[in-house]
Structure 1
Amino acid sequence: MLPLLLLLGLGLEALVSFVPQMLTTLLLVGLRRGGTCTA
């Protein structure tokens, strides 16, 4: 049971550190595409 909890904790930590980067990159790409589309 402990290894499973440890793996879950590591996965959550990885997600918490990875999601913001992905969101920021997606936001930048979306803004860039929106800017080029409107312009």
Structure 2
Amino acid sequence: MVEERLWFSYSAHKSDYILYTDNSLFLFLVFSLVPLPCALV
């Protein structure tokens, strides 16, 4: 509930391009860092 309100207040006045780049960066970090512990083992 709080997360939705924070996301709406952040994204309400942003352009679609900014949201796209934010999401792309987030996905890149998640898919890069999550498998890292498995790769180190």
TM-score, normalised with respect to structure 1: 0.52
Name which one, 1 or 2, has greater alpha-carbon Rg.
1
Instruction: Name which structure has the greater RCO, CA cutoff 8 Å, separation 6+.
Output: 2
Match of residue 20 from structure 1: 22
Aligned residue-pair number: 27
| Structure 1 gaps, min length 5 | 1-12
Match of residue 7 from structure 1: none
Q: Which has the higher helix share?
A: 1
1:1-39 pair list within 5 angstroms = 13-39=15-41
Identity of aligned residues (%): 11
| Structure 2 gaps, min length 5 | 1-14
TM-score, normalised with respect to structure 2: 0.51
